[in-house]
Amino acid sequence: MSKDLLNYETMVERALKSVVVEALTQVAENGLPGSHHLYVTFATDFPGVELPDHLHEKFPEEMTIVLQHQFWDLTVEEDRFLVTLSFNDIQERLAIPFPAIKAFADPSVNFGLQLKFEGEGEIDVTAPAVLEEPDAKPEAEPEPEIESTPAETAEDGDNVVTLDAFRKK
């Protein structure tokens, strides 16, 4: 078997992470359409993750947020996204670098991605350029839910894309 000099695994991982960035960008610009809601699992101890101390104590390694009923000021930047969520009726601002994301799911359409996470953020993904102004204003924004289980356990695991089957052992 030949050595992969083109590094397809990295290309595919970058493409998968770009799906997450694009989905968050669309939601930031237009709000959540229909019954869509997003689960984002990320490493809380990853460099650049910003969250309140009480949440970091409760979730020292990993946390899943759900953007569904109420979230505010979702902002997608070049290397991270920021969102304000309510925890015990207190609004808190979180900043999550894209390389910290481990899993992404939208259970309303049975879609999910389990992303490669090395803890070093070796896959670089940047936000897509905005080509035009959105026509629609965001609708009333849903309230987030917090879960301590990884997103890949949501639903039956249907349509969760993982590259493990294709990786060399």
Band the pLDDT of 85: cuts 50, 70, 90: very high
- Residue 119: predicted pLDDT: 60
Band the pLDDT of 99: cuts 50, 70, 90: very high
- Residue 37: predicted pLDDT: 92
Q: Token match 């968050």: residue? A: 24
- Cα–Cα separations (whole angstroms), residue 8 to 1, 3, 13, 26, 122: 15, 11, 9, 27, 14
Band the pLDDT of 118: cuts 50, 70, 90: low
Question: What is the per-residue pLDDT across 72-81, written as a single tens digit (0 to 9) for each?
Answer: 999 999 999 9
Band the pLDDT of 130: cuts 50, 70, 90: very low
Burial 16-28 (b: 16+ CB within 10 A, else e): bbeebbebbbbbb
Task: Output the average pLDDT for the chain.
Answer: 77
Pairing mode, if any, of strands 160-161 and 111-114? parallel
What kind of architecture, by CATH, is found in domain 8-126+139-160?
Roll (2.30)
Band the pLDDT of 82: cuts 50, 70, 90: very high
